[in-house]
Amino acid sequence: MSNGSSLPPHRRLRGTLLVVLASVVVAGLGGWLVWHASGRDGGPRAGQPAPSDPTESATGRGGSHTPGGKGSKDHGPRAGLKGKVVVLDPGHNPHNGEHGREIARQVDIGNARKECDTTGTATNDGYAEASFTLDVVRRARTLLQEQGAKVVLTQDGDRPYGPCVDERAEIGNKAHADAALSLHADGSGAGNRGFHVILPARVTDGPADTAAIVGPSRQLGERLAGRFRAVTGSAASNYIGGGTGLDKRSDLGGLNLSTVPKVFLECGNMRDPKDAAQLTDADWRQKAARGITEGITDFLTR
Select from 161, 142, 24, 164 the least CA-distant residue to 95: 161
**Is residue 66 domain-resident?**
no
CA dist., res. 267 & res. 117, Å (int):
19
**Is residue 53 domain-resident?**
no
**Residues 216 and 89 reside in one and the same domain:** yes
Range of the domain at 114: 85-300
Kindly provide the b/e burial profile for residues 232-252, where b requires at least 16 CB atoms within 10 angstroms of the residue's own CB. Answer: bebebbeebbeeebbbbebeb
Beta bridge partners of 15: none
**Residues 137 and 246 reside in one and the same domain:** yes
**Is residue 63 domain-resident?**
no
Residue type, 20: V
**Residues 220 and 280 reside in one and the same domain:** yes
**Residues 285 and 138 reside in one and the same domain:** yes
**Residues 10 and 141 reside in one and the same domain:** no
**Residues 287 and 146 reside in one and the same domain:** yes
Q: At what angle do helices 129-146 and 282-300 cross, to 10 degrees?
A: 50
**Residues 25 and 163 reside in one and the same domain:** no
Query: How big is the chain, counted in residues?
Result: 302
Pairing of strands 85-90, 208-209: unpaired
Number of domains in the chain: 2
**Residues 17 and 149 reside in one and the same domain:** no
Residue 266 contacts residue 260 (beta carbons within 8 Å): no
Q: Write phi, then psi, for 160 (nearest 5 degrees).
A: -65, -30
Res 77: pLDDT: 52
Res 78: pLDDT: 66
**Residues 114 and 252 reside in one and the same domain:** yes
Kindly provide the b/e burial profile for residues 167-190, where b requires at least 16 CB atoms within 10 angstroms of the residue's own CB. Answer: bbbbbbeebebbbbbbbbbbbbee
**Is residue 281 domain-resident?**
yes
**Is residue 48 domain-resident?**
no
**Residues 158 and 250 reside in one and the same domain:** yes
Res 23: pLDDT: 52
CA dist., res. 29 & res. 166, Å (int):
87
**Is residue 69 domain-resident?**
no
**Residues 28 and 157 reside in one and the same domain:** no
Render pLDDT for 90-99 as a digit per residue (tens, 0 to 9): 999 999 999 9
Residue 266 bears catalytic tag:
yes
Pairing of strands 262-269, 196-200: antiparallel
Residues of the chain with pLDDT under 70: 1-78
Angle at 294 between CA 264 and CA 254, to 5 degrees: 15
CA dist., res. 207 & res. 215, Å (int):
19
CA dist., res. 177 & res. 88, Å (int):
10
Render pLDDT for 67-124 as a digit per residue (tens, 0 to 9): 233 333 333 456 799 999 999 999 999 999 999 999 999 999 999 999 999 999 999 9
**Is residue 29 domain-resident?**
yes
**Residues 192 and 268 reside in one and the same domain:** yes
Domain harbouring 96, CATH code: 3.40.630.40
Catalytic residue among 170, 222, 266, 294: 266
Res 1: pLDDT: 41
**Is residue 100 domain-resident?**
yes
